[in-house]
Amino acid sequence: MKAMKIAVITGASSGMGLEFAKAIDREERLDELWLIARREDRLRELAKTLRSRCRILALDLSKPESFEEYSAALESEKPLVSTLCNVAGFGRFALFEETPMEANLGMVDVNIKALTAMTQLTLPYMKRGSRVINLDSLSAFQPVPYECVYGATKAYVLSFSRALNVELEPRGIRVMAVSPGWVKTEFFDHAVSDNGAVTYYDKVWEPEQVVERAMRDYKKGKDVSVLGSGVRRQVFLVKHLPHKLVMRVWMKQQGHANRPPVD
């Protein structure tokens, strides 16, 4: 009996996850599209707009029991997963010591542990031609004060994705990290604090633009997708400049170059 062909998208209830769900639905002929996020109502609204039959998995990926439920669903259906799109994640823009430990550890849980778990659970159900797309960030390429935990989690995603892409090459499975700059999504509603830690945004992209570029870059065989010539130039520069200088420029942009010390 032929295995059911599916794609899996985490963080599908809004923003980048929602746009990736739409793009993958347009691009692939699927038996089912598995949509994962905490907000079941949002997932059901999205499902109404897609041509694929959708399976709604209302999971909170910060909780270990969510992986048990996802693993059980895979074991029950034994599908062929053509695409895993890891989009779920969040950030906080603030001083590390002013950010609740729950939020700091939550970023590690969702941005790193959940992405790693979802990938490891899904790989046994992939075959040659399958792909993993991980939402990363421009923050992955440099240390970012006032985003120190978020940026560090994204550095993990970038390194993990590129190394895993090489490991999976013999199996014909590709992994690509999508590393955008600022994107207009609900991310800002949760990330921006009222202490003015991050206030300068040079250019803000629409999620549709990032996803469109990512899908094109994947077809070109890239392992990292970066939208915008200015963003790509920044990535090039931070690879070659001392990080102390890069962080000094960032602090000046955000108006913290002369920030008084904390008593």
Tens-place pLDDT, residues 26-73: 999 999 999 999 999 999 999 999 999 999 999 999 999 999 999 999
The amino acid at 205:
W
Q: CA 181 to CA 119: how far, in whole Å?
A: 24
Tens-place pLDDT, residues 196-225: 555 545 677 799 999 999 999 999 999 999
Q: What is the pLDDT of residue 182?
A: 75
* Tokens read off for 87: 């989009």
Average of pLDDT values for 179-193?
65
CA distances, 184 to each of 59, 75, 134, 147 (Å): 24, 37, 18, 18
Among candidates 127, 134, 117, which has minimal Cα distance to 81? 127
Q: CA 174 to CA 70: how far, in whole Å?
A: 22
Tens-place pLDDT, residues 81-133: 999 999 999 888 888 998 999 999 999 999 999 999 999 999 999 999 999 99
DSSP for 51-82, please give it. SS-EEEEE--TTSHHHHHHHHHHHHHH--EEE
Could you list the active site residues? 150
Mean pLDDT (the chain, rounded): 89
